[in-house]
Amino acid sequence: MQARNLIDLADMSRGDLEEIIRLAGMIRQNPAIFTDACHGKIMATLFYEPSTRTQMSFQTAMLRLGGKVIGFDDPSNASVAKGESLKDTIRVVSGYADLIVMRNPVEGSALAASLYSKSPIVNAGDGGHLHPTQTLTDLVTLWYEKGTLEGLTIGLCGDMKNGRTVHSLVKTLSKYKGNRFVMISTPQLQMPPYILEILQENGCAYSFADSLESAIADLDVLYMTRIQQERFASAEEYEAQKGVFVLDEAKMRLAKSDLVVLHPLPRVDEITVGVDEDPRAKYFEQAEYGMYARMALIITMLQSRRDAVPETPRWDDARCCQNPRCVTNTEPYVPHRFYEKGGKAVCRYCDSPLDA
């Protein structure tokens, strides 16, 4: 892999991505070969907001490679967080660890951290902005459960508006040929226009459905996500509609025999427990693929060349990003950087357009 860090999956070439997917499969087939692959290496997991599931997946991945793990899972009582800048923490921890996995509620914080780190940075979630290893997990699962990333009819059900991992998955799959998307949701929770534009640019077919029942028969893949009750316009609407977006055994009977059902977990009640024993339900396997995906990523990052990689053209600017959740507003020493998109300056950290 050429990239020094994994901030955004979009920074990774298709070749790099497939190399990691293949390595993940090799590890899954022969885990014993990799038992000491990272012997003597240290990974830091810096979780500025708790996410036991993601942190446990990364930690297990490193431990299964024979490496060691340091870090914190909640900086509320950590001296590391007491009035200390992100830069100082990263400078110190990158002197301890060979690889830093970071989760932080501030958008763009992983990219900002990479400016100051002596060790590669993996973005394990920067607020609502990016979460590339979830998408990597989804791709590894599809590759091994469907045998391909092309020519698939993919249903997406639930909250498409607020789901960063669904956006990232759709963007990545839109670059593979022959994929069709069916968005199954309420009008309020539909895919944002910029994603639909990407689908059009890449020549992907897509359609909308207002119930699982009407859409499920055509699908090769069904990607379920949580719909939070508070996302509905009213409690009445929630009560009226929730059933049509819940996957149960009856709806599974309408589906293809080789359907693959995915869910990023944790689920609440959008998939009934009865579906779990259906061999087409792959969401628990998906979590396990996530561990293998992270093992492959860690090996790749620790071998990556340490020199700079050509970046997309961007410039420093005196102007400030106006997104209040952007790292340039919480860490004032970070240089303001922008790139051009559709004639607009866009913040390099949080990808928000700079209003004129």
Alpha helices in 217-265 (DSSP H): 235-241, 249-252
What part of residues 33-72 is at the interface with a copy of itself (CB under 8 A)?
A: 35, 39-40, 42, 44, 50-54, 56-57, 59-60, 63-64, 66, 68, 70-72
Q: Which residue has the tokens 């009035």?
A: 83
Q: Are strands 337-341 and 344-347 parallel, antiparallel or unpaired?
A: antiparallel
C-alpha to C-alpha distance for 290 and 19, rounded to whole angstroms: 15
Nearer to a copy of itself, 88 or 340 (CB): 88
- Total residues interacting with a copy of itself, rule: CB under 8 A: 53
Position 308 contacts a copy of itself (CB under 8 A): no
Residue 333 dihedral angles phi and psi, to the nearest 5°: -80, -10
The tokens for 185 are 């949701």
Shortest reach from residue 105's CB to a copy of itself, in Å:
13
Site string for a copy of itself, 246-265 (x = CB under 8 A): -------------------x
**Can residue 320 be called a binding residue for a copy of itself (CB under 8 A)?**
no
* Residue closer to a copy of itself, measured from CB, 289 or 338: 289
The Cα–Cα gap between 337 and 351 comes to 10
Among 1, 204, 287, 293, binds a copy of itself (CB under 8 A): 287
For a copy of itself, the closer of residues 284 and 315 by Cβ is 284
> Is 131 annotated as a binding-site member?
yes
180 binds a copy of itself (CB under 8 A): no
Q: Is 84 in the site for a copy of itself (CB under 8 A)?
A: yes
How far apart are the C-alpha atoms of 57 and 293, rounded to whole Å? 10
Question: How would you class 314 by CB atoms within 10 Å of its CB: exposed for 0-12, middle for 13-18, buried for 19 or more?
Answer: middle
66 or 105: CB nearest a copy of itself: 66
Q: 105 or 353, CB closer to a copy of itself?
A: 105
User: Which three-class secondary structure string do you get for 83-110?
Assistant: CCCHHHHHHHHHHHCCEEEEEECCECHH
Confirm whether residue 226 is marked as ligand binding.
yes
Which residue stretch of 94-102, 130-138, 300-308, 311-319 sits at the interface with a copy of itself (rule: CB under 8 A)?
94-102
- Binds a copy of itself (CB under 8 A): choice among 13, 22, 74, 207: 74
E-assigned strand segments in the chain: 42-47, 68-72, 99-104, 121-126, 153-157, 180-184, 205-209, 221-224, 260-262, 315-316, 337-341, 344-347
Q: Is 54 annotated as a binding residue?
A: yes
Q: Kind of pairing, strands 260-262 and 205-209?
A: unpaired
Distance (Å, whole) CA 253 – CA 132: 33
Interface ranges with a copy of itself (CB under 8 A) = 32, 35, 39-40, 42, 44, 50-54, 56-57, 59-60, 63-64, 66, 68, 70-72, 74-75, 77-85, 87-88, 91-93, 95-97, 265-268, 273, 276, 284-285, 287-288, 291, 333
Indicate the annotated binding residues for L-aspartate: 82, 164, 226
